[in-house]
Structure 1
Amino acid sequence: MAASPRSAGLLRLVAFVFALVTTWIFIRSFDGFNMKTIRLPRWLGSVPKEIRVVKTKCGLNKPCPDNFFAFKLSSGAANVVGPSMCFENHVIMSPVKNNVGRGLNIALVNGTTGTVLRQNSFDMYSGDPTLLEKFLKEIPDSTLVLVASYDDPGTKMTDDIRKLFTNLGSSHAKQLGFRDSWVFLGAKDLKSKSPFEQFLKNDPNSNKYEGWPELLEMEGCVPRKVF
């Protein structure tokens, strides 16, 4: 004999309640299940937890260890976009700050405290190279030197200037020339070659931009000077 519509509806309700209770018991009894991981829709009254994103200084891929400074350098792109420098999450030089120029852009940072001491740009195409030479000779001890090229860093580069950069730990200053791309981080009292340097020669056969090699980007963690 067929069940009445009222009986059929009651049976469906009982089945639904049974399934709901069984599911709840299963979730409660499942070993290792974390109720906090359940993500229910908003209409059920639960709001998903906020996902935490680890923020690093200067946007590095990973945080630097204790007693290390975070940095990121970018050379200029042809003669269109200027270079940028970030140190310990502080943008020292950039096109946005309007304090970069054609040639070599240099920032001096205290190697112990991380304090920015000076920043200057030197026109190496039509400027006076003796200004850069004087600047490099006056760098205090225990100072980090951040360098980023823009457009042309090498036309008026003298042998004396190349030697000063070499003494700061550069491996490529000796060959820096017209429209080369260069980023570098060295130090006044460095006893060996710096591991923080990238260089691209201006080469018509491999240039990314017409007349210029591609821009360079370099990031890393440099140890704090500890006495």
Structure 2
Amino acid sequence: MRLAGPLRIVAIVLCVGLTWVLASIMLGNQGAFPRIQQMLTRPQNPTTAYPKPRRYKCGLPQPCPEQHFSFRIVSGAANVIGPKICFEDKMLMSSVLENIGRGLNIVLVNGVNGELIAAKYFDMWAGDVNDLLKFLRPMYEGTLIMVASYDDPATKMNDETRKIFGDLGSNAVKELAFRDSWVFVGANGIQDKSPFEQHIKNNKNTNKYEGWPEALELEGCVPARTNETQ
């Protein structure tokens, strides 16, 4: 009972002191208990916000130079995940668009203005290779071609088909075989072999997906053609 008086005094002093501190902070009195005010008003563990890396057309890490087209091609993964072809930030072929299929997925675009000419797939396991030949033969000078394999790109290929792709700039097409992975960008009228091509052989000892090699991804900037070069 004797301690009740002192405890009551201590409690009153603490309440008055806390009221003074809070009032000083609210009124902006920087002279009153500055350290306590800083503790109450400044975060103890500030986090640094880092800007997200900027992505450009088709998800490229850098923008393409002027008079160049951006592209990104992903081949199919085994016979489960379909391929994708993006050009100038427009998805032209994908599973979402429901315009891809087993075999060769091909996009043709105007090499001068980048306008889409056609986007089709050709079954190279059970389809008719003549359908592919009819699609490729009329290509005019300067047309860009983008190709993504899915499942099997080569079983129905014949010598004429391989020659056409070779003339378009492909180096790997002469060895393309059953269930290989292949991505390619070429052009009608190209003088040398295209620098935009990747190829992985179907090999049971190195395949990522049992009977199929891993998927391929190809991206970059392809120079636009000028009217004078057509």
Would you say the 8 A contact 2:186–2:194 is kept in 1?
yes
Q: Corresponding residue for 2:176?
A: 176
Would you say the 8 A contact 2:54–2:61 is kept in 1?
no
Would you say the 8 A contact 2:180–2:199 is kept in 1?
yes
* Alpha-carbon distance between aligned partners in 1 of 2:53 and 2:206, rounded to the nearest angstrom: 38
TM-score by length of 2: 0.78
1:55-94 mapped onto 2 (5 Å cutoff): 55-94=55-94
Deviations 1:169-207 (A, max 9, x none): 000000111000000000001010000000000000000
Structure 2 unaligned regions, length at least 5:
1-12, 35-41
In structure 1, give the amino acid aligned to 2:142.
S
* Root mean square deviation, CA, Å: 2.8
* Alpha-carbon distance between aligned partners in 2 of 1:68 and 1:57, rounded to the nearest angstrom: 12
Deviations 1:127-149 (A, max 9, x none): 10011112111112111000000
Deviations 1:20-64 (A, max 9, x none): 99xxxxxxxxxxxxxxxxxx87xxxxxx99957533000011111
1:1-227 mapped onto 2 (5 Å cutoff): 17=30, 51=51, 54-226=54-226, 227=228
Q: In the comparison of the two structures, how many residue pairs are matched?
A: 197
* Alpha-carbon distance between aligned partners in 1 of 2:68 and 2:100, rounded to the nearest angstrom: 26
Structure 2 CA distance for partners of 1:201 and 1:51, relative to 1, 3 Å: closer
* Alpha-carbon distance between aligned partners in 2 of 1:49 and 1:60, rounded to the nearest angstrom: 23
In structure 2, give the amino acid aligned to 1:151.
D
* Alpha-carbon distance between aligned partners in 2 of 1:153 and 1:76, rounded to the nearest angstrom: 10
* Alpha-carbon distance between aligned partners in 2 of 1:220 and 1:109, rounded to the nearest angstrom: 16
* Alpha-carbon distance between aligned partners in 2 of 1:170 and 1:153, rounded to the nearest angstrom: 14
Q: Which runs of 4+ in 1 moved over 2 A?
A: 16-21, 48-55
Structure 2 CA distance for partners of 1:50 and 1:122, relative to 1, 3 Å: same
* Alpha-carbon distance between aligned partners in 1 of 2:65 and 2:222, rounded to the nearest angstrom: 10
Would you say the 8 A contact 2:106–2:119 is kept in 1?
yes
Structure 2 CA distance for partners of 1:20 and 1:168, relative to 1, 3 Å: farther
* Alpha-carbon distance between aligned partners in 2 of 1:104 and 1:51, rounded to the nearest angstrom: 39
In structure 2, give the amino acid aligned to 1:136.
L
In structure 2, give the amino acid aligned to 1:213.
P
In structure 1, give the amino acid aligned to 2:188.
K
Deviations 1:92-116 (A, max 9, x none): 0001100001000100010110101
Structure 2 CA distance for partners of 1:125 and 1:49, relative to 1, 3 Å: closer
Question: SS at 2:30's partner residue?
Answer: helix
* Alpha-carbon distance between aligned partners in 1 of 2:132 and 2:71, rounded to the nearest angstrom: 23
Structure 2 CA distance for partners of 1:163 and 1:19, relative to 1, 3 Å: farther
Displacement, 1:18? 5.7
Q: Corresponding residue for 2:9?
A: none
Q: Percent of pairs identical after alignment?
A: 53
> Which structure has the greater CA radius of gyration?
2
TM-score by length of 1: 0.79
